[in-house]
Amino acid sequence: MSLDPDLAGALHHLAGAGSFTELLGQPGGLDRLEAFSGGAVPYQAPEVCFREAGAYGPNGTVPVRVYGGRPGRDAPALVWIHGGGFAGGGPDMREADQLAREIAARSGGVVVSVDYRLARDGVHFPVPHEDVLAAWLWTVEHAAELGADPARVCLGGASAGGNLAVGAALFLKDAGLPLPAKLLLAYPFLHAELPEPRAGSGTGPGAAEALDVAGVLEGLPRLLRFTSDDCRALVENYIGGPVAMASSYAMPGNADPAGLPPAAIIACEYDDLRHSAEAFAAGLRRAGTDVDFRLEAGAVHGYLNHSAGLRIVQKGLAFLARALVDAKPFQ
């Protein structure tokens, strides 16, 4: 395979930038990032009603945006957690707002987007984790008035948001609290030390494909890569200490997944974090859990932050929307 042509044609906008922080600190950096994200591609977001609300938790009120939903209905719902390396991102990014609008419109369900506290300015685990739990519990409690079936509320996220979603699900399982009907994960970051591809896992690449993937990865701009040092730095910033201190709720990839609900997982073909998603999917299957795994051919990490005018983004959104529609009560 090769990079998606729309994504490949936009890579030059990232030339010379070692990180998103560096890029945004340069004159015209925001314009370059928007150009890379397909901002000029014709696209009209679906008209979906939304409102602001707040879920109270141990650290105070957690802002949430509720997309779609009408009282009296019995629709599925998704509590969605954006990515951003635990320290970035927000409810206005495409991976949050655009995704929520699209999933709500496609599924006829409710999407609750969580504006959790970021790991910066002295904030560390468990604060973001607790914010996600607060949003989850609030959604389940208010599901009926939102127009959703409390037994069909799903939990998901992208990248670091996928980590937060799985960590929250593990906590809920251990605490005997209501579990999600399904986990919906996009290119999740679940391991502090990225696992090697597992032969026979049913998801990992073969030898020839691995060589192709490695070659494409080497040609990507630096800010789209996740080296071992990058992953370690992200985790240490998140937990506020050495990687070895991370609990299974903070880095859930190595935890026992037995008892977790079914999962729908997207991994990107050209992503250093691909093997984290593959290893987690394999662990779920070994535990007897149903997994719908999609390897997005030609995609790079974070591709759902691109305009939904791109065909590859539409495919990922369609997969997640179908997973939400198909969610059945787990407990």
pLDDT at res. 207: 64
pLDDT at res. 206: 66
12 lies in a domain?
A: no
Per-residue pLDDT of the chain (331 residues; tens, 9 = 90+): 699 999 999 999 998 888 888 888 888 999 999 999 998 899 999 999 999 999 999 999 999 999 998 877 889 999 999 999 999 999 999 999 999 999 999 999 999 999 999 999 999 999 999 999 999 999 999 999 999 999 999 999 999 999 999 999 999 999 999 999 999 999 999 999 988 765 444 455 566 677 789 999 999 999 999 999 999 999 999 999 999 999 999 999 989 999 999 999 999 999 999 999 999 999 999 999 999 999 999 999 999 999 999 999 999 999 999 999 999 999 7
Cβ neighbours for 96, distance < 8 A, ≥ 6 positions apart: 80, 82, 89, 90, 113
34 lies in a domain?
A: no
pLDDT at res. 24: 82
120 lies in a domain?
A: yes
289 lies in a domain?
A: yes
Please report where in the chains the tokens 């759902």 appear, as a residue: 304
pTM: 0.95
Q: Which helix (H) or strand (E) holds 275?
A: helix 274-286
Strand order in the sheet with 291-300: 50-57, 60-67, 110-114, 75-81, 148-158, 183-186, 263-270, 291-300
202 lies in a domain?
A: yes
Range of the domain at 93: 48-325
Domain count, the chain: 1
101 lies in a domain?
A: yes
74 lies in a domain?
A: yes
Question: For position 227, which CATH number holds?
Answer: 3.40.50.1820
